[in-house]
Amino acid sequence: MSRIGVFICWCGENIARTVDVDEVARLVAEFPGVRCAVNYKYMCSDPGQAIVRDKIVSERLDSVVIASCSPHMHLRTFRSAASLAGLNPYRVEMANIREHCSWVHPNRAQATAKAVQLIRLSVEKARRDHELEPIRVPVTRRALVIGGGVAGIQAALDIANSGYEVVMVERDPSIGGKMAGLSETFPTLDCSQCILTPRMVEVGQHPKIKLYSYSEVEAVSGYVGNFNVSIRQKARYVDIKKCTGCGECWNACPLKRNPSEFDYAMGMRPAIYVPFPQAVPARPVIDAKVCAKIIRNGCGLCLKKCKAEAINFHDQDKLVEEKVGAVVIATGYKLYNIGKVQDRPKLEGYGEYGYGKYKNVIDSLQFERLLSASGPTVGELKRPSDGAQPKSVVFLCCVGSRDNAKGLPYCSKICCMYTAKHAMLYKHKVHDGQAHVFYMDIRAGGKGYEEFVRRAIEQDGAQYYRGRVSKITEENGKLIVRGTDTLAGEPVTIEADMVVLANAMRPADGVEQLAQKFNVGYDEYGFLLESHPKLRPVETASAGVYICGACQAPKDIPESVAQASAAASKVLITFSASELTREPEIAKVNEDTCAACYTCLHACPYHAVEQAEVRTPRGVFVKRTARVNPGLCMGCGTCVSVCPSKSADLEGFTEQQIYSMVESLV
Amino acid sequence: MSQGALARPLSPLLALCQVYLRRELQALSVATAISASSDVIAEVESLAHTGIRDCYQCGKCTAGCPMAAGMDSGPTRLIRLLQLGQTEKALRAQGMWQCVSCQTCSTRCPKSVDCAGIMDALRQLSFERGVATPEQQHTVLFQKAFLANIRRNGRLNDLELIGEFKLTTFMRGRSIAFLLKDATLAPELMKRSKFHLVGEKARDRAVVARIFARCMDGSTL
Amino acid sequence: MNLAYYPGCALHGSSNDYEQSLRACLGTLDVELKEIDDWICCGATAAHSLNQKLAIALPARNLALAENKGFHEMLAPCPMCSMQLLKARKELGESEALRRSVSEIVELEVHGEVKVLNLIQLFESIGLDKLKAAVKVPLSALNAACYYGCLLTRPPEVVEFDDFEQPRSMEKILAALGGKTVDWNYRTECCGAGMTMASEQTVLDLSHKILTNAKQHGANCLVVACPMCHVNLDMKQPNIERHYGVKHAMPIYYLSDVVGLALGFTPEALGVNRHFVPGAASSADLQVSKPAAGLKAGATAKDAGAK
């Protein structure tokens, strides 16, 4: 016979004003199996919890029903209270008579009647509750960091410096990401590579970081604490262990004029190349799409020159397996390339700006490379068409951003700041030059940011026009920029030597496929979804998988670094014990009755059902069965609903419980 | 709203009240302006099938407008006036009459605001209310004469149109120069067989007149 | 090909040279045009400026007139007309209530299903290879600036034709005819449209910029597919020259002119002699003089002997 205790909360006035709590207590006490029904002003308070604990002991209760607010609020509170009194925490039920009753029904009589019914349901459920134990899952205390930009580097260093091994996967030949290609960073105008390369070197040399460069994540299986990751190491055609980085090969390579990816086609590189001098690893890679040896068995000069015998034209992609317990995704961003055919039909492109048609219309990352001291023009500002020094440069903000008609509706956050920076750096290089900036608003919310933008205007003489540009054409080597200034209400036409477009920030290519491998959601733009936009910015819906940096949303370097450390801290929480506990309200298959049809396996959205075998203690095969992996199952109940033999059921929410709850109402 | 009633004070006391009211009304400026002119804004939005509030004043329309340099209020400013409820200023502006309807503004607008449609709506509403700016009367009179011509003939009669247009502008401005301008075009057109003394007419002109009557009766589609 | 023909007021008025040339060249290309019986003016600029209802109703009636005669396609060589017809067609297609209400106003059941083609689309429909095969006089002396004006490509969601920032459909036709075209910057800039009478200075300013830019980019003529643009650029060219003190001397051809000339018609047959700015007087003007066979251009008799 059940011994159920019902505890009805007034929640101050929130419940008691509408629901007659005394009447409810009186009626509920009549339910079969209910030993006591009490009401109190604030059940969740210390005295309230004390009442629950005392009653559990004095009435020898075997189940408890709390009729109060939503379980999202205080289920944990009451489970702890029950635990302290010696009652299994999974024998605690909550009837929501606030959000589902007093807060939505104004009529006192009706609300009271409904509260009684809600409690009736919970009592029925509680009657058939069983003791359950939390599930313990072992943790592999190694982390995977995907992406070797500043965010990935920060996360990897934080985790590695805490004593745990990190596997880092970067798809480019070198780590460093976009930040390695910038010239100077706002608001300090620090040389970007100077502040980043020490970190890059630290990653490259760290005893606890295993770097897979020029590699990508191929496949993932498993669950938090126990991920199996398959990594594809792409063929470099160079053995980086043998290679000494001497440079004989890339100096000898005759195919010198391939557009450099690192320089965003502002400069050239050979077929065998290191992307930039400070690369980590500082070892070359061969571009198989252009190498004469690979395509038609010609050349082979690099092979002859290499004293370390590190060149291997028979190299192939390799797949390696790594086991990790947590994953940090830090795949970064790319710029919206408005000159090319788009991956989405709506992003038609901006034919009016002439990007791709006029050589001197470039985007902001290309401009960074032209400014950079280690760039293709060695820090001298030379425009792409003829190498002349531009005396007037026009900067366009919001290209592709804040554009509902044929771009992306969101703000890319960093462009106002880097455009001010570009205007300043331009002036520092070309003292008699004039920068013109067309903007819609100035978004400069960070520390020292507003002052930085004012410096560009007041000290470095950048001319700011509030308005967008309608069209850019080229006449006699000059770019005719037709814009406006809405503050004066005048059209503005400028003859420029060069135009720099602040294109929108988008997530890096391939992020959607990667997200699907990890069951991480993404929005319509491809930005990865955080668990909660305010309170959980680095966690995802997938336990053990964290995100940081620009892959989550447009942001600048300090924010990326902060989020990276945040993600690292979440990983460290995951690693803080050798075991993880999970809630036991998950599915379970009755292996006696299971027919191994595996409908549940195919229906499970979390891939939590496995094919298993039942064997005798001596190992003789008896039958096949479905088995739920307690580490992966999220308790959604899909398998329960599709199982034809009713072998699958949910612990803590069995079919029996549901049927009896429904019957109790009818 | 019958303004005639307000304009006839019954007594000096009432007159004083009116003066006081007018001053109070002026002091309320923008807030009142928006609510009082909300019917004009609603009409513009309904005629143009577009939302005035969508415009975030980026200025791209003005930047691409071939006529903006000469306009008193370019398209950005006209929309801003509407957003602020300054509909009187907008209806009396020159800008929309200088507009050549090239559609560049609407094509490039990042918020898909039909700016060209708003120019059409402003033209229609200022025309119907009789407040079209005096400075652009040539354009207003030309469009009016054009419509009158089609209504009469079903198709455009060049010579009749030019005649009516020149006459009405002369009656307004007494400019002989404008009247006689383009007179030398006549022989040039004649020798190229482009001069039609009597233009074409549609057979069923009555239906055209009926269509006009139904469209210009003040109701909306 | 059999389609309905909507000339519009301009092609029967001061731009009847446009009708002359298109009737001539379409005749040899197996295109039969049936003028819509008792068509009415589409409303042009005046209707959409002064009354939105009229701007839909007037073109709607013409759509119905074509449909009632069983036509599935109609040619509207004037982009003002074709744009207004397409706009009416689109709006009626999006609202059944509007369609019914407009049908009542125009006293005809309007379905808005007949397709509306501009002249460029008609040539594309005929087929560029068919056009190329029919060329008798390749236009090798032509270095044309193809001028689209406003309403062939805008508003893009109404006319849905060509790239509205960088259109190339006319250039492709010129190439099939053996002509060269220039890359220039005023392809889709307005010429002043219907302001010719009401505000002539607007037309002079805007059209002057177009002619200047075409010349700056090496064009020796303009090719247009709009009667309004033609008037502003051709008939008003003497006024432009007088006002700005420049000599443009830029012939303005209709697209049907260049097609007709390539097909072997004389300029008179096409009405080219009726333009204000003289164009080609004969087919010799259209071709660069060819050197004798066996010698490269610029070779001397000595070279010929040495061979």
**Each residue's pLDDT tens digit, A24-64:** 999 999 999 999 999 999 999 999 999 999 999 999 999 99
**C260 belongs to a structural domain:** yes
Residue (of C86, C103, C82) closest to C225 by Cα position: C82
Would you call A657 exposed, middle or buried from its count of C-beta atoms within 10 A (0-12, 13-18, 19+)?
buried
Q: Which of C6, C15, C52, C210 to mutate to test the interface with B (most CBs of B within 10 A)?
A: C52
Q: Decide if C165 and A352 are in contact by the 8 Å CB cutoff.
A: yes
CA geometry: angle A580, A583, A584, nearest 5 deg:
115
Residue of C nearest to A348 (CA): C163
Alpha helices for A206-347 (secondary structure H): 248-252, 292-296, 301-305
Q: Do B147 and C54 touch (CB under 8 A)?
A: yes
Q: How many residues does chain A have?
A: 666
For C247, the token pair is 């000599």
Do B65 and B121 form a contact (C-beta atoms < 8 A)?
Answer: no
In a domain, C232, yes or no: yes
| Chains within contact range of chain C (3+ C-beta pairs < 8 Å) | A, B
User: Is pLDDT above 50 for B3?
Assistant: no
Residue B30: per-residue pLDDT = 52
* Residue C157 to residue B107: CA distance in whole angstroms: 9
Pairing relation of β-strands A648-650 and A587-589? antiparallel
Sheet with strand A215-223: strands edge to edge: A215-223, A226-233, A318-324
Task: With residue C102 as reference, give the H or E element that holds it.
Answer: helix C96-106
- Domain A333-506 sits in CATH 3.50.50.60: yes
Residue B174's pLDDT is: 78
Does C157 lie in the same domain as C231?
Answer: yes
Q: What is the mean pLDDT of residues C159-183?
A: 95
Mean pLDDT calculated for residue range A374-388? 95
The pLDDT value given to residue C126: 96
**Distance (Å, whole) CA C151 – CA A480:** 24
Contact B100 C52 (CB under 8 A): no
Higher pLDDT, A129 or C293: A129
d(CA B25, nearest CA chain C) in Å = 32
Q: pLDDT class for B8, splitting at 50, 70, 90?
A: low
| Shared domain check, C133 and C114 | no
Residue C249: band (very low, low, confident or very high) from pLDDT cuts 50, 70, 90: very high
CA pair distance A545, A189, nearest whole angstrom? 34
Domain borders along chain A are 4-127, 142-331+546-574, 333-506, 586-650
Helix (H, G, I), strand (E, B) or coil at C254: strand
The pLDDT value given to residue C285: 80
Cα–Cα dist B23/B26, whole Å: 5
- On whether any CB of chain C is under 8 Å from the CB of B60, the answer is no
Q: Which residue of C has its CA nearest to B188?
A: C276
R_g of chain A, CA atoms, integer Å? 32
To the nearest whole Å, the CA of A411 is away from the closest chain C CA by 25
Q: What is the mean pLDDT of residues A349-363?
A: 92
Same domain, yes or no: C98 and C182 = no
The answer, yes or no, to whether residue A8 has pLDDT greater than 60, is yes
Q: What is the mean predicted confidence (pLDDT) over A632-638?
A: 90
Based on the structure, what is the number of domains in chain C?
2
Looking up tokens 């307004």 gives B172
Residue C307 has pLDDT above 70, yes or no: no
Mutation target for A interface from B54, B58, B106: give the one with most A CBs within 10 A. Answer: B58
Together in a domain, C135 and C113: no
Judge contact between A289 and A237, C-beta under 8 A. Answer: no
B143 CA: distance to closest CA in chain C (Å)? 5
Residues 236-265 of C with CB under 8 A from B: none
Name which of A634, A581, A587, A631 is nearest A606 in CA terms.
Answer: A634
Residue C228 counted as domain residue: yes
State the pLDDT confidence band at A416, using cuts at 50, 70 and 90. Answer: very high
- Fold: same for A142-331+546-574 and A333-506: yes
Q: Contact A351/C185, CB-based, under 8 Å?
A: no
* Phi (first) and psi of residue A143, to 5 degrees: -115, 150
Give pLDDT, residue B199.
Answer: 85
Q: Would you call C40 and B202 a contact, using CB atoms and an 8 Å cutoff? A: yes
What is the CB-side half-sphere exposure of residue B64 using CA atoms within 13 A? Answer: 29
Distance from C-alpha of C158 to C-alpha of C150, rounded to nearest angstrom = 13
Closest residue in C to B122 (Cα–Cα) = C49
One domain, residues C15 and C83:
yes
Grade residue A261 by pLDDT with cuts at 50, 70 and 90.
very high
**Residue A476 with chain C: CB contacts under 8 Å:** 216
Share the mean pLDDT of chain A: 95
Of B146, B189, B200, the CB nearest to C44: B146
The answer to whether the Cβ–Cβ distance between B143 and C50 falls below 8 Å is: yes
Selecting from A351, A476, A480 the residue whose C-beta is nearest the C-beta of C165 gives A351
Quick check: A131 pLDDT over 70?
yes
Same domain for C51 and C69?
yes
Q: Contact, A177 vs A332, CB < 8 A?
A: yes
Cα A26–A31–A34 angle (5° rounding)? 90
From C30's Cα to the closest Cα of chain A, the distance in A is 37
User: Taking all residues of chain B, what is their mean pLDDT, rounded to a whole number?
Assistant: 86
Residue B48 has pLDDT above 70, yes or no: yes
- pLDDT for residue B37 is more than 80: no
CB contact under 8 A, A404 and B110: yes
Structure-token pair, residue B217: 């009766």
Q: Which residue among C89, C119, C149 closes a domain? A: C119
Flag if B102 and C190 touch (Cβ within 8 Å): yes
Tell me what pLDDT residue A339 has: 76
Q: Which of A348, A410, A484 to mutate to test the interface with B (most CBs of B within 10 A)?
A: A484
- The predicted pLDDT at position B220 comes to 61
Neighbours of chain B (3+ CB pairs under 8 A): A, C
> How far is it, in rounded angstroms, from Cα A25 to Cα A51?
15
Suggest the residue from A404, A466, A470, A499 to mutate for an interface test with chain B (most B CBs closer than 10 A).
Answer: A470
Q: Which of B59, B108, B109 is nearest residue A467 as measured by Cβ atoms?
A: B59
Is C113 found in the same domain as C139?
no
pLDDT (tens digit per residue) in C33-55: 999 999 999 999 999 999 999 99
User: Nearest residue of C to residue A479 by CA position?
Assistant: C185
Architecture of the domain spanning A586-650: 2-Layer Sandwich (3.30)
Predicted local confidence at residue C279, as pLDDT: 85
Q: Do C202 and B67 touch (CB under 8 A)?
A: yes
Q: Which residues contact A545 (CB under 8 A, 6 or more apart)?
A: A224, A326, A327, A329, A518, A519, A520
Q: DSSP alpha helices (H): ranges in chain B?
A: 3-6, 12-36, 38-48, 60-64, 75-83, 87-91, 95-98, 104-108, 115-128, 137-153, 158-173, 176-180, 185-191, 205-215
User: With bands split at pLDDT 50, 70 and 90, how would you rate the model's confidence at C289?
Assistant: low
- Give the separation between CA C283 and CA C73, rounded to whole angstroms: 33
Q: Say whether pLDDT at C178 is over 90.
A: yes
Residue C80, domain member (yes or no): yes
Are the Cβ atoms of C49 and B141 closer than 8 angstroms? no
Cβ contacts of C166 on chain A, cutoff 8 Å:
351, 357
Average pLDDT, integer, range A421-435: 97
Q: What is the mean pLDDT of residues A245-259?
A: 94
Alpha helix stretches (DSSP H) within A174-308:
192-205, 248-252, 292-296, 301-305
Domain shared by C115 and C214, yes or no = no
Q: Tell me the C-alpha distance between A657 and A219, whole Å.
A: 39
What is the nearest CA distance from B102 to chain C, expressed in angstroms? 5
**C276 and C146 fall within a common domain:** yes
pLDDT at C277: 95
- A142-331+546-574 has which fold? FAD/NAD(P)-binding domain (3.50.50)
Average pLDDT of span B140-154: 95
Using a CB-CB cut-off of 8 Å, the residues of chain A touching B57 are: 486
The Cα C152–Cα C255 span in angstroms is 13
CA dist., res. A540 & res. A80, Å (int): 26
Q: Specify the 3-state DSSP secondary structure of A178.
A: coil
- Nearest Cα of chain A lies from the Cα of C166 at a distance, in angstroms, of 7
* pLDDT tens by residue, A53-107: 999 999 999 999 999 999 989 999 999 999 999 999 999 999 999 999 999 999 9
Residue C294, pLDDT above cutoff 60:
no
Q: Report pLDDT for A12.
A: 92
Note whether A484 contacts B74, CB cutoff 8 Å: yes
Contact at CB, B76 and A352, closer than 8 angstroms: no
Q: Answer whether B101 touches C (CB < 8 Å).
A: yes
Q: Give the domain range for residue C148.
A: 128-286
Rounded to a whole number, what is the distance in Å from the CA of B7 to chain A's nearest CA? 37
**Beta bridge partners of residue A363, listed in sequence order:** A501
- Do strands A190-191 and A184-185 pair parallel, antiparallel, or not at all (unpaired)? antiparallel
Min Cα separation C99/chain A (Å):
28
Q: Residue C246's domain is classified under what CATH number? A: 3.40.50.11810
Chain A CB contacts of B73 under 8 Å are: 489
Cα–Cα dist C60/C88, whole Å = 6
Q: What angle do CA A165, A168, A169 make, to 5 degrees?
A: 150
Same domain for C281 and C135: yes
Contact list in C for residue A357 (CB cut-off 8 A) is: 166
Of the candidates A206, A230, A212, A218, the one whose C-alpha atom is nearest the C-alpha of residue A174 is A212
Nearest CB partner across the interface for B216, out of C48, C51, C274? C51
C185 chain-A contacts, CB cut-off 8 A: 473-475, 480
**Chain C residues whose beta carbon lies within 8 Å of the beta carbon of residue A473:** 185
Would the pLDDT of A215 be above 60?
yes
Contacts with B60 from chain A: Cβ below 8 Å: 467-470, 484
| pLDDT at residue A325 is higher than 50 | yes
Confirm whether C297 is domain-assigned. Answer: no
In A431-549, which ranges are E strands?
434-439, 463-466, 471-475, 478-485, 490-496, 498-503, 505-507, 545-547
DSSP letter at A578 equals S
Which pLDDT does position B5 carry in this prediction? 45
For residues B88 and C277, give the distance between their C-alpha atoms in angstroms, rounded to a whole number.
46
C269 touches chain B (CB under 8 A): no
**Does position B61 have pLDDT exceeding 80, yes or no?**
yes
Q: Could you give the CA distance from residue B186 to residue A562 in angstroms, rounded to a whole number?
A: 78
Q: For chain C, which residues lie within 8 Å of any Cβ of chain A, measuring from their own Cβ?
A: 163-166, 185, 213, 216
Nearest to C56 among B144, B200, B221 (CB): B221
Q: Is the pLDDT of residue A5 over 50?
A: yes
Averaged pLDDT, A541-565: 96
Residues of chain A with pLDDT > 90: what percent?
Answer: 92
Give, in order, the Cα–Cα distances in Å from A657 to each of A31, A649, A653, A663, C157.
16, 11, 6, 10, 58
The CATH code of the domain that includes C56 is: 1.20.1050.140
Closest CA to B214 of C40, C58, A12, A218: C58
User: Between B184 and B95, whose confidence is greater?
Assistant: B95
Instruction: Kindly tell me if the per-residue pLDDT of A349 is higher than 80.
Output: no
Does residue C150 register a pLDDT over 80? yes
Under the banding of pLDDT at 50, 70 and 90, the label for residue C288 is confident
Sign of the torsion formed by the C-alpha atoms of B43, B49, B53 and B59 = negative
C-alpha–C-alpha distance, residues A261 and C97, integer Å: 56
Q: What percent of chain C has pLDDT over 70?
A: 94
pLDDT in tens, A587-602: 999 999 999 999 999 9
Q: What is residue B217's predicted lDDT score, i.e. its pLDDT?
A: 79
Residue A281, preceding bond cis, omega within 30 degrees?
A: yes
Q: Considering only alpha carbons, which residue of chain C is nearest residue B97?
A: C49
Considering the domain boundaries, does residue C71 fall inside one?
yes
Cβ separation C163–A474 shorter than 8 A: no
Interface contact C189-B66, CB threshold 8 A: yes
Domains and CATH numbers, chain B: 32-132 (1.10.1060.10), 135-215 (no CATH)
Last residue of a domain, one of C119, C147, C177: C119
Range A4-127: architecture per CATH = 3-Layer(aba) Sandwich (3.40)
